[in-house]
Amino acid sequence: MTGVRRVDVAVIGGGPAGVAAAVTAAEAGAGVVLVDGAPRLGGQYYRRPPAGSEQLSRGRRRHRWRAFDGLEARLEELVAAGRLQVLPGTTVWSAEGGSPFLLRTRGGDRDPLAPVGLLRARTVVLATGAHDRQLPFPGWDLPGVMTGGAAQALVKGSGVLPGQAVVVAGTGPFLLAVAATLLRAGGRVVAVVEANTPHRLLTRPSELLPGLGRSGQLAGFAALLVRHRVRYLARHRVLRAVGGDAVGAVVVARVDGQGRVRSGTERELACDVLAVGQGFVPQTDLAVQLGCPVGTGTDGGPAVTVDDLQQAGVPGVFAAGESTGVGGAELALVEGLVAGAAAARRLGLAPAVDQDLLRRRQRRVAGLRRFADALHRTFPADPGWAQRVDDATLICRCEEVTAGRVREAVTGLGAADPRTVKLLTRAGMGWCQGRICAEAVDRLCPPPPDPAAGTARMLSAAKRPLAVPVGLGALAAMDGPGPDPGHPGAGPAGPSAGGSPGPRPLSTPDQPRRDQEGPTP
Amino acid sequence: MPPEPMPPEPTPPEPTTPPGTGPEEFQVRLDGRPVPARAGQTVAAVLLAAGVRSWRTTRQAGRPRGLFCGIGVCFDCLVTVGGTPNVRACVTLAEPGDDIRTQQGTGWPLPVPASGTGAAAGTGAAGGTEKAAGTEKAAGTAAAGGTEVAR
């Protein structure tokens, strides 16, 4: 068992929000540890190949990187001075207690028996980011269908194109960013298929103002698409992906404002990759574990509720970036600056925090948040999806549960919420712990009586005592310090060790009970 | 007016340097066959660059799966690496000599190592040698997958 590391501030997540928070808090005099799952800091937006593998990088660095570059230079100075420590390739899977908080970590997947790491932190900054939001359609489980984020991560992190001919589809400005990344890397984009009408954004000029920089960036993406003669199909939707062992084409059609297909507009686009996404889902697992209030964001997804100091409702816990509601990298970075300063202030390092600067940053957060909200209203994620989705469509990829089985649980067995559906069908009970299918299952359930009930049931499905799977062997070997004496009874909420005869290096809290060893005929 | 659908390019463009030869280049093995890799690439990127689009079958329907979320969230890209099953290909960096095995179902029991070394070391799967490979199917869904981005 490794020892417990004691720190003033533990920052979880190494994207723009986390790096900004870590640098700000450390410069104010706090002892900071920055924990990040990736081999190199940057998160999704500022993703790069690992250090030493820069030759994999594609295209010139964009000017938008300057803000992050500046932060990273300061971070390196702090690291050299011993005032900030970075733990790359490390994931926090449990967070509990009150100041000090106890965080448990694990490394990569290669060594599932590696001992659990422990951090005791006086304050915690959650900067855990988001992942692509998905609404299932026929064929979405075919190899070659992937999220927009996956296509971008391949190019940015490994210098590899996902395929020869890519259709980018779904909704939101991120589709343009994905297409631009692929084009700049020399890839071929067959079409961008956008379910909504982006020009509606122009009817909200006052909300656009704070996001002028980002609007300019989007205009640049649009120009790039024109230059590469990429078809931009607004108010179109992917009806299905087709192929045998992998995707070979997608069928798209023009849709009306409710997402209904206009008959006679169906057409097939040949491709070997479909990069798809409907916006993003904030990662709120650790916030929920810590008891932070989580509400519903403008885009309908979960969002950690924060005040103007990024305080997350539990004294000593701060949240910044996408976990507080999806808003983009620029907003994440400014929120991180505020959270880092606020964490330092809480530790009694207030004199080191410039109050005027803090207030300017708070105003910037509010402006960028308004812009993000305008984007969310312009690019809603297919409100009519639940009424249309076919019974045969796979909903839960992990446990292979179809829409028909979810509906059967709802209408035949009276399930009124995702948690009951999960118990009856296993939807959301697999490896990903419902991260991918949660919204789809929720939409297939009867509508909640009121918004508060909706948030409550979303949260009930979002409770994940282990934020990532942890090896049973690693859990069993945990003989080190438990939770603080002030927080009794809060042992590791591990999976039940009973009933599993063989070794199983990785396990989820909801262990699959069927041990099928191969494909069923 | 609906434009004509265009077929995908038939062949991937050649990398500008021969794979597996430069100082930052090395080989890994997929079900025993050599696959070129470059330092810093994830296992998923290496496989896609080699034209492999699927490297796992599901526990129940035996459906092929490959990369999906790409950032470690969905666990669809699970693969067996160095005898450890259920490794996320999208967040695991390839290392020289990696013994990568396509995975069926839960990944247990482990497949027989091709050359008498490698797999089944360490984690001690009971009866790990019973189920011989049979993993060709998933690897065989390759087709024209990803392309190495030319420098």
pLDDT tens figures, A276-300: 999 999 999 999 999 999 999 989 8
pLDDT classification of A201: cutoffs 50, 70, 90: confident
Q: Are the C-beta atoms of residues A327 and A368 closer than 8 Å to each other?
A: yes
Q: What are the tens digits of pLDDT across the range A364-411? A: 999 999 999 999 999 999 999 999 999 999 999 999 999 999 999 999
Task: Write out residues 70-89 of B within 8 Å (CB-CB) of A.
Answer: 70-76, 78, 81-82, 84-88
- Residue A168, pLDDT above cutoff 70: yes
In Å, how far are A22, A81, A307 from A241, measured between CA atoms?
43, 53, 43
- Residue A45, pLDDT above cutoff 50: yes
pLDDT classification of A60: cutoffs 50, 70, 90: low
Residue A282 backbone phi and psi in degrees, to 5: -65, 145
pLDDT classification of B20: cutoffs 50, 70, 90: very low
Residue A27 is predicted with a pLDDT of 95
pTM of the predicted model over 0.90: no
Cβ-based contacts under 8 A for chains A and B: 254
Angle between helices A16-27 and A329-346 (to 10 degrees): 30
Compute the Cα dihedral for B46, A17, A105, A465 and give only its sign: negative
Chain B residue with Cα closest to A270: B7
Q: Are the C-beta atoms of residues A459 and A282 closer than 8 Å to each other?
A: no
Q: What are the tens digits of pLDDT across the range B84-130? A: 999 999 999 999 999 999 999 998 877 665 554 443 333 333 333 33
- Residue A317, pLDDT above cutoff 90: yes
**pLDDT higher at A18 or A501:** A18
What's the rounded mean pLDDT across residues A484-502? 39
DSSP A111: -
Nearest to A300 by CA among A420, A385, A242, A231: A385
Task: Write out residues 179-198 of A within 8 Å (CB-CB) of B.
Answer: 185-188, 190
Residue A58 is predicted with a pLDDT of 74
Q: Flag whether residue B5 sits within 8 Å of chain A, measured between CB atoms.
A: yes
- Residue B15, pLDDT above cutoff 90: no
What's the rounded mean pLDDT across residues A473-495? 56
Distance (Å) from the alpha carbon of A354 to chain B's nearest alpha carbon? 36
What's the rounded mean pLDDT across residues A309-318? 97
Q: According to the 3-state scheme, what is the secondary structure of A234-270?
A: ECEEEEEEEECCCEEEEEEEEECCCCCECCCCCEEEE
Positions of E strands within A305-383: 317-319
DSSP A279: S
Residue A462 is predicted with a pLDDT of 84
Chain B residue with Cα closest to A280: B69
ipTM of the complex: 0.90
pLDDT classification of A59: cutoffs 50, 70, 90: low
With vertex at residue A173, the alpha carbon angle to CA A387 and CA B5, rounded to the nearest 5 degrees, is: 75
A507 neighbourhood in chain B, CB within 8 Å: none
**How buried is A479 (Cβ within 10 angstroms: 0-12 exposed, 13-18 middle, 19+ buried)?**
exposed
- Residue A148, pLDDT above cutoff 90: yes
Where is mean pLDDT largest: A212-221, A498-507, B63-72?
B63-72
**Alpha carbon distance A338, A365 (integer Å):** 9
Encoded tokens for A208:
């656009």
Q: Flag whether residue A369 sits within 8 Å of chain B, measured between CB atoms.
A: no
- Residue A438, pLDDT above cutoff 50: yes
pLDDT classification of A305: cutoffs 50, 70, 90: very high
Task: Write out residues 304-333 of A within 8 Å (CB-CB) of B.
Answer: none
Residue A54 is predicted with a pLDDT of 87
Task: Write out residues 202-261 of A within 8 Å (CB-CB) of B.
Answer: 231, 245-246, 249
Compute the Cα dihedral for A16, A18, A19, A25 and give only its sign: positive
Contacts of A213 (CB under 8 A, 6+ apart): A330
pLDDT classification of A2: cutoffs 50, 70, 90: low
Q: Are the C-beta atoms of residues A466 and A94 closer than 8 Å to each other?
A: yes
Compute the Cα dihedral for A182, A184, A190, A193 and give only its sign: positive
Residue A352 is predicted with a pLDDT of 64
Residue A63 is predicted with a pLDDT of 64
- Above pLDDT 70, what percent of chain A? 89
- Residue A219, pLDDT above cutoff 90: no
pLDDT classification of A141: cutoffs 50, 70, 90: very high
- Residue B5, pLDDT above cutoff 60: no
Contact B9 A188 (CB under 8 A): yes
Q: What are the tens digits of pLDDT across the range A77-118? A: 999 999 999 999 999 999 999 999 999 999 999 998 899 999
Q: Flag whether residue A55 sits within 8 Å of chain B, measured between CB atoms.
A: yes
Encoded tokens for A175:
């589709």
CB atoms within 10 A of CB A25: 36
pLDDT classification of A459: cutoffs 50, 70, 90: confident
In Å, how far are A217, A228, A438, A441 from A224, measured between CA atoms?
11, 6, 35, 37
- Residue A127, pLDDT above cutoff 80: yes
What's the rounded mean pLDDT across residues A123-141? 98
- Above pLDDT 70, what percent of chain B? 58
Chain B residue with Cα closest to A113: B123
With tokens 């409907």, the residue in question is: A278
**Alpha carbon distance A73, A90 (integer Å):** 22
Residue A294 is predicted with a pLDDT of 94
- Residue B131, pLDDT above cutoff 50: no
